[in-house]
Amino acid sequence: MSDRPSGAGLAGETSRDAFLNGRLTLLQPKRGPRAAIDALFLAAAIPAEAGAGQSVLEAGAGTGLVSLALAQRIGDAQVTGIEVQGDLCRLAVESARLNGLEARVRFLEGDVTGPPERLDALALRAEAFRHTAANPPYLTEGRARSAATAAKQRAHMADDGDLDLWVRFLTRMTAPGGTVTLIHRAEELARLLACLDRRFGGLAVFPLFPHAGEPAHRVLVQGVKGSRAPLRLASGLVLHEVSGAYTAAADAVLRAGEGLALA
């Protein structure tokens, strides 16, 4: 396990929050990393298909929103989430139980940037997952202000070079021909594409724009392991109307829980 702050002491200081128009309940720390809309867009973009019983792995699951939202959308998906912070992992396990998803969604405590042999102890089999996904830490240590709590610091900030370790882990876990889906800050797109290069092809870049005519703040990136297809830049999605309300396309993901095709 990592020797970075673990966020101990979160238990008992939690809230119970509703997502997907009340269809999903999530336990979260009142102070610490809390789920945002990025998680729902990532869950919507994972191209799992209903009726196939496909296996999905989420790296850095936090309190479990991505994994749980995906499992609710795809009724027979088998989902595994890996989370380094034990308190967050335990909240995710409890949220799975609260939503009746514990038979199809499991959460394991582990560090995806750690030595592979430590993850081997979790009995994770390489190339066993049809789809993998992650919402890696957005900030780099030394380039951004420290977070208010140790748990937030661990969830949102990584060492320089950690992004490549995340992608390396996802590569190891993804089956040949399977997909990887990530969400990150738009300004980190070049670094993310460099990490994916020669590991995944057929990459689709899907920007998320705050308002029409404004630069994207977030990008979804998806690729196929072993593909040699060229990169595609999608038209993306605008999140807000001029009034500030969500657009119909954003609302379909955030409230109706619909999938989001990046191709």
* Residue 22 included in any domain: yes
Q: Are 213 and 167 in contact (CB under 8 A)?
A: no
What pLDDT digit, counting tens, does each position of 89-110 carry? Answer: 999 999 999 999 999 999 999 9
* Residue 93 included in any domain: yes
What pLDDT digit, counting tens, does each position of 134-178 carry? Answer: 999 985 544 445 445 444 444 434 455 699 999 999 999 999 999
H-type alpha helices, 79-231: 86-98, 116-120, 150-156, 162-173, 189-196
The pLDDT value recorded for residue 161 is 67
Domain containing 223: what range? 14-254
* Residue 242 included in any domain: yes
If one counts the domains in the chain, the total is 1
* Residue 127 included in any domain: yes
Average pLDDT over the chain reads 89
SS3 call for 203: strand
* Residue 85 included in any domain: yes
* Residue 8 included in any domain: no
Could you state, in chain order, the average pLDDT of each consecutive group of 10 residues for the chain (263 residues)?
36 86 97 93 98 97 98 98 96 98 97 86 92 88 47 45 93 98 97 97 98 98 97 98 98 98 90
Q: What is the CATH number of the domain that holds 97?
A: 3.40.50.150
The pLDDT value recorded for residue 120 is 78
* Residue 7 included in any domain: no
Angle between helices 37-45 and 65-73 (to 10 degrees): 40
Residues 6+ away with beta carbon under 8 Å from 9: 87
